């Protein structure tokens, strides 16, 4: 797991620019000034390109296009729904509330599908690190879904997983214990391609219900202005492409 995280960090725009910057420094240190300038320039250009809204939205849009917004009534009925972690951070101290992240749409959408009668059972998939969190992410999701009116009897917690592959393995095991062979999968549109492949590889019939679509058309005057949100989005999209290719 540590190796895969290092690889993902290295291929992100920021990571690649850092690697090129280190190589430029080493080239200069050993007297190859021309190579040092070329590598340093490449690092800056690479970072600038992926911090622009246009290429960032293009990269994210290619992943999200296959999983557009689907109206609630068009989502097929299924015996269960799995909602993946990544949208909420568990509390770190007893008095802290959970922290809702940018992908918390997943949890809200899962509640909407339950109340629309599309699924009777929600599997909440997401572990936790006891060194920094009081609960698992699945438990934090349960608290929010309870506040959104989902009864506890309709929720099952999968609290072991630490990545998407484990989300699939452990969630499918819980479904098979209940004799369930098909499910609705709720995750961010950017993440759906990779997650769908991993759940299908576990032998489950999966209906994608994507949410949290990110690709947006910025205002005309902003398209060539570097933006930290665009840089972050580029990095996460590259992570998803790499994960899809490697099957992780």
Distance CA 191, CA 119 (A): 21
Both 195 and 84 in a single domain? yes
- Residue 12: inside a domain, yes or no? yes
Please give the tally of structural domains in the chain. Answer: 2
Both 77 and 199 in a single domain? yes
* pLDDT tens-digit map of 172-188: 999 999 999 999 999 99
Is residue 22 over pLDDT 90? yes
- Residue 219: inside a domain, yes or no? no
- Residue 217: inside a domain, yes or no? no
Tell me which residue has tokens 């936790």. 128
Residue range(s) defining the domain that contains residue 13: 2-64+226-246
- Residue 185: inside a domain, yes or no? yes
Mean predicted confidence (pLDDT) in 24-40: 94
* pLDDT tens-digit map of 92-113: 888 888 889 889 999 999 999 9
**Number of CB atoms found within 10 A of residue 179's CB:** 7
- Residue 218: inside a domain, yes or no? no
Q: 83 φ, ψ to 5°? A: -110, 125
Distance CA 39, CA 35 (A): 6
Element (H, E) at 38: helix 33-50
**Number of CB atoms found within 10 A of residue 22's CB:** 12
Question: pTM higher than 0.85 for the full model?
Answer: yes
Is residue 212 over pLDDT 60? yes
pLDDT on residue 3: 55
CATH number at residue 142: 3.40.50.620
Both 112 and 230 in a single domain? no
Distance CA 125, CA 123 (A): 6
Contact call for residues 248 and 163 (beta carbons, < 8 A): yes
pLDDT on residue 2: 55
Both 14 and 94 in a single domain? no
* pLDDT tens-digit map of 106-143: 999 999 999 999 999 999 999 988 888 889 999 999 99
pLDDT on residue 246: 62
- Residue 205: inside a domain, yes or no? yes
Both 174 and 233 in a single domain? no
């Amino acid at each position: 797991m540590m190796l895969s995280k290092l690889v993902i960090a290295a291929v992100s725009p920021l990571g690649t620019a850092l690697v090129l910057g280190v190589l430029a420094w080493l080239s200069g240190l050993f007297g190859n000034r021309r190579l040092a300038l070329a590598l340093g320039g490449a690092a800056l250009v690479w970072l600038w390109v992926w911090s622009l809204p246009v290429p960032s939205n293009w990269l994210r849009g290619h992943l999200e296009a296959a999983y557009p917004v689907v109206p609630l009534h068009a989502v097929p009925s299924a015996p269960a729904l799995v909602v993946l972690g990544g949208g909420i951070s568990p509390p770190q101290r007893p008095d802290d509330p959970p922290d809702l992240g940018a992908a918390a749409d997943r949890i809200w959408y899962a509640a909407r599908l339950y109340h629309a009668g599309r699924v009777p059972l929600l599997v909440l998939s997401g572990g936790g690190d006891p060194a920094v969190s009081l609960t698992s992410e699945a438990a934090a999701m349960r608290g929010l879904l309870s506040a959104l009116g989902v009864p506890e009897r309709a929720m099952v917690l999968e609290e072991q997983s630490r990545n998407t592959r484990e989300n699939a393995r452990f969630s499918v095991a819980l479904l098979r214990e209940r004799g369930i062979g098909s499910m609705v999968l709720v995750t961010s549109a950017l993440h759906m391609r990779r997650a769908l492949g991993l759940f299908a590889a576990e032998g489950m019939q999966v209906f994608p219900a994507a949410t949290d679509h990110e690709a947006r058309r910025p205002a005309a005057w902003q398209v060539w202005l570097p933006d930290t949100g665009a840089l972050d989005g580029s990095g996460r999209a590259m992570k998803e492409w790499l994960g899809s290719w490697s099957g992780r």
